[in-house]
């Protein structure tokens, strides 16, 4: 059994593969990197769900495979929820973690630590080719704070700046398993794995 995870982000792919492995799910997870000349969906939606559907549908049509897509973002309270759905292109279209993190720190310059609260959201869509009206949608969130500087070497994206008070660590100071236990993506994947078996039955 094979499933396509419609992502070009290797950090997301690592986390999903690890979560599936931990749950004992015996499927082979492919990503865009395993396809020849895959399309590059333009994320024009105004919500995580809309953007996840754009990615899931384009790649399901292209591949003919059962397809998952993940649209995620960081919402910072002091920045009125920014960067939100624009998290990947916060510092400009050339999607670069270092520039995005630098911009986030600059925007929060001078803001006291107790006002640097934020949360991550992940929305995952599962799409069966030809049955997009029956998409499965799950979400997960995780609350934390934006540190004044990076901590940790693991993870990806905004992870070195995202501190989880209950754990006393940033996401970049956690192993993939530790991050999955509490993260927005880990929580969304847990819901997905609960709902997927019944959802799949309708296509048998």
Nearest to residue 100, comparing CAs of 122, 114, 79, 69? 79
Binding test (CB under 6 A) with ligand ITT, winner from 54, 57, 60, 100: 100
- How many residues touch ligand ITT (CB under 6 A)? 22
Draw the binding track, 155-174, toward ligand ITT (x: CB under 6 A; -: no contact): xxxxx-----------x---
For ligand ITT, give the closer residue by CB, 32 or 136: 32
- The answer to whether 71 is a known catalytic residue is yes
Counting contacts by CB under 6 A, is residue 117 touching ligand ITT? Answer: no
Measure the CA–CA gap between 99 and 169, rounded to whole angstroms.
22
Helices (H), the chain: 10-22, 48-63, 97-107, 176-182, 184-201
What is the nearest approach in angstroms of ligand ITT to the Cβ of residue 155?
Answer: 6
Counting contacts by CB under 6 A, is residue 145 touching ligand ITT? Answer: no
Query: DSSP per residue over 147-166, as a string?
Result: -SS---SSS-TTGGGEEETT
What is the nearest approach in angstroms of ligand ITT to the Cβ of residue 74?
Answer: 6
Q: Which residues are catalytic?
A: 71
């Amino acid at each position: 059994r094979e499933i396509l995870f419609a992502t070009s982000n290797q950090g997301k792919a690592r986390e999903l593969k690890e979560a599936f492995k931990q749950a004992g799910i015996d499927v082979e997870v492919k990503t865009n990197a395993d396809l020849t000349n895959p399309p590059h969906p333009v994320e024009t939606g105004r919500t995580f769900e809309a953007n996840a559907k754009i990615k899931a549908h384009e790649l399901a049509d292209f591949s003919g495979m059962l397809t998952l897509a993940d649209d995620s973002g960081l919402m910072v309270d002091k920045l009125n929820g920014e960067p939100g759905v624009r998290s990947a292109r916060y510092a400009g279209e050339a999607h670069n973690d270092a520039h995005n993190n630098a911009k986030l720190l600059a925007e929060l310059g001078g803001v006291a630590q107790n006002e640097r609260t934020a949360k991550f959201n992940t929305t995952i869509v599962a799409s069966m080719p030809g049955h997009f009206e029956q998409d499965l949608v799950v979400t997960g969130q995780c609350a934390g704070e934006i540190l004044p500087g990076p901590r940790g070497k693991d993870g990806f994206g905004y992870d070195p700046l995202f501190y989880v008070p209950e754990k006393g660590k940033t996401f970049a100071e956690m192993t993939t398993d530790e991050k999955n236990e509490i993260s927005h993506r880990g929580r969304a994947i847990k819901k997905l794995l609960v709902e997927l078996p019944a959802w799949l039955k309708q296509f048998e």
